[in-house]
Amino acid sequence: MTEKPPEIPHFEYRGDIGGGGFAMVHRYYHRKLKRDVAVKVPKATGLSDAVRERFIAEGESMAELGNHRNVVTVYDTDTAADGRPYLVMEYCPGGDLAKLSGRTPLSVKEVLDIGVQVAGAIETAHERRILHRDIKPANILMNEYGKPCLTDFGIAGRFAEQDEDGQVILSVPWSAPELLDRSAVEQGGVPAEVFSLGATLWHLLVGHSPFMPRGTDNSLAAIEQRIVSGWLPTGLAAPADLQRLLARAMAKNPAARPGSVREFAVGLQRIQKAQRFGETELVLMPAPEPDEPVAAASFVAPEAPLAPPTRQRMQPVFVPQEVKPAPHTTARAVAPPPLQLPQARPVPHTTARPPEPPRPLTVDAPQTQLRKPLPDNGIRPSKPSTRSLWPLYVVGAAATAAIVGVGFFLLSGEDKPTGPVTTTITDDVPDQNAGAGGAPPGRPEITATRLDGTKVRFAWTYSAQQATDTFSWRTSTRTGTAKEPQIEVEGANPVCLQVKVVRADGSNATAEWSQESCG
């Protein structure tokens, strides 16, 4: 039978937050902590050993990831007087993203920011060999600081940990096709998590699952058929780069998706750069070394109120995950996927962005030159004669000649590509700083944005960037240089521009101009 909220010492019941068919989340005031908390407790007493284990596993998974700022924190666990186990968690007053986006779809800037933050939490779980298995808008909560936090690890599992009789619950509208199609060779793992995150971000932009287009048959069977067949939505009001990245994440073939959640997040960061949004930090927390104690080892599982029966293999448990269960939000149980073991690799602690190389020392800057003090032997150096300065005059003449030569080259009539081509940053471009230590600069790719009737903003990216790079640019009537990878040019429609990278020390230089971009 379904029980009332449990009475817990030092806790004052304040109201219900929500829940599904299996558990409820209540709001309590913790008198010792003097703050509101969320308490998750099963609805019914007399839980089977298998159900109790599943509930305890959720707390263990969240406690292990609790130091990540985008995972809901678990404060405590215990057993209530009526025998039900409960979890004491961080209270997130902002609500879940399913409700928020259902009222008003989120902006592109908000979705990119949320996507990178949640991806950091998921990738951190993967580094600890934990799969979430139920990534969807309803399982992302907004905390009191306005940060998205991943919750509900109730069906989480570990890599290579399988039970031939065990089954998992699926939220169909955000599930990968290989999880719904039992004939598929691959049955989930990291690629399925990438698919669910891509479907979740699409949902936030439109207010509903990408596989539930409005005005069509959105029965459970119809949704499942769209996903399994490889059907993809279109017409998203978002930059083309973001549309391509989300479509790639939701590809039917798992091999066609980004290889990891981290790779997907880096693609989102590239789009933030292209849109001139602030780049969100990708927070990653690498798993501890095998000989180090796990931070969450202090988590204590609640004891059963009575002596549990003989331990048996876990049987299927159907747990609706939505606050208001709907026919299409939870579906048939399927066998857990054989999970691929990802190749171990070092992960940065805070961000996937590589550090910029140090700026070279400026030869003529006095603060960068080190001189040994001369011994005080009573002898003072005399002033240099005019004859001793002749090498400086030679160097100055050579530098002047080089500057004139560069100006002649920029103004020369070099052939340019024919036809205006507008380029943009794509989601599968390699890291811009890859090989920056010794590789030549890649050919710039330009994005043109018409600001008004008289001005166009051009911005460009290229591989192997260095902090000291500058840029030469030219139009059909003007030439110039820029210190930053963007410039605003005045002119009526159209204005076309080419860019070339100029390396400060002259090494790895290239005379290759970019394709012409017009705006």
- Minimum mean pLDDT among 94-108, 419-433, 468-482: which range? 419-433
Q: Of 7-11, 240-244, 324-328, 413-417, which one has max mean pLDDT?
A: 240-244
The residue that leads in pLDDT, 197 or 475, is 197
Q: Of 1-5, 263-267, 439-443, which one has max mean pLDDT?
A: 263-267
Which pTM does this prediction carry? 0.57
CATH tag, 11-89: 3.30.200.20
Task: Reply yes or no on whether the pLDDT at 422 is more than 60.
Answer: no
Q: What is the pLDDT of residues 337-370, one digit of tens each?
A: 444 444 444 444 444 444 444 444 443 433 333 3
The answer to whether residues 58 and 154 touch, using CB atoms and an 8 Å cutoff, is: yes
494: tokens are 């159209």
CA–CA distance, 58 with 353 (Å, rounded to integer) = 32
The residue that leads in pLDDT, 232 or 313, is 232
Which fold, 445-518? Immunoglobulin-like (2.60.40)
- The pLDDT of residue 415: 43
Residue partners of 131: CB distance under 8 A and separation at least 6: 125, 156, 157, 158, 159, 188, 189, 190, 193, 339
pLDDT > 70: percent of the chain: 65
Report residue 319's pLDDT band, with 50, 70 and 90 as the boundaries: very low
Domain boundaries, the chain: 11-89, 95-298, 445-518
Say what angle helices 261-274 and 190-206 make with each other, to 10 degrees.
30
CA–CA distance, 242 with 425 (Å, rounded to integer) = 10
The answer to whether residues 471 and 445 touch, using CB atoms and an 8 Å cutoff, is: no
Strands (E), 53-154: 74-79, 85-90, 130-131, 140-142, 148-150
- Minimum mean pLDDT among 52-61, 217-226, 312-321, 357-366: which range? 312-321
Q: Which residues are bridge partners to 12 per DSSP?
A: 29
- Minimum mean pLDDT among 24-33, 310-319, 440-449, 479-488: which range? 310-319
96: tokens are 């879940």
CA–CA distance, 126 with 193 (Å, rounded to integer) = 10
Span 254-268, average pLDDT: 96
Span 152-179, average pLDDT: 68
Query: What's the CATH class of domain 95-298?
Result: mainly alpha
Residue partners of 352: CB distance under 8 A and separation at least 6: 262, 265, 266, 269, 282, 284
Alpha-carbon dihedral of residues 329, 331, 334, 336, nearest 10 degrees?
A: 20
- Minimum mean pLDDT among 223-232, 364-373, 390-399: which range? 364-373
pLDDT > 90: percent of the chain: 37
CA–CA distance, 6 with 28 (Å, rounded to integer) = 11
CA–CA distance, 12 with 31 (Å, rounded to integer) = 7
Report residue 187's pLDDT band, with 50, 70 and 90 as the boundaries: low
Span 242-261, average pLDDT: 96
- The pLDDT of residue 199: 98
Report residue 476's pLDDT band, with 50, 70 and 90 as the boundaries: confident
Please check if 136 is assigned to a binding site: no
Average pLDDT of every residue of the chain: 75
Span 154-169, average pLDDT: 52
Task: Reply yes or no on whether the pLDDT at 43 is more than 90.
Answer: no
The residue that leads in pLDDT, 92 or 481, is 92
- Minimum mean pLDDT among 14-18, 380-384, 391-395: which range? 380-384
- Minimum mean pLDDT among 115-119, 155-159, 246-250, 343-347: which range? 343-347
CA–CA distance, 18 with 295 (Å, rounded to integer) = 30
Instruction: Produce one character per residue of 230-257: b if its CB has 16 or more CB atoms within 10 Å, e if not.
Output: eebbeebebbebbbbbbbbbbbbebeeb
CA–CA distance, 192 with 189 (Å, rounded to integer) = 6
Report residue 156's pLDDT band, with 50, 70 and 90 as the boundaries: low
Known catalytic residues are 133
Burial of 503 (0-12, 13-18, 19+ CB in 10 A): middle
- Minimum mean pLDDT among 54-68, 123-137, 245-259: which range? 54-68
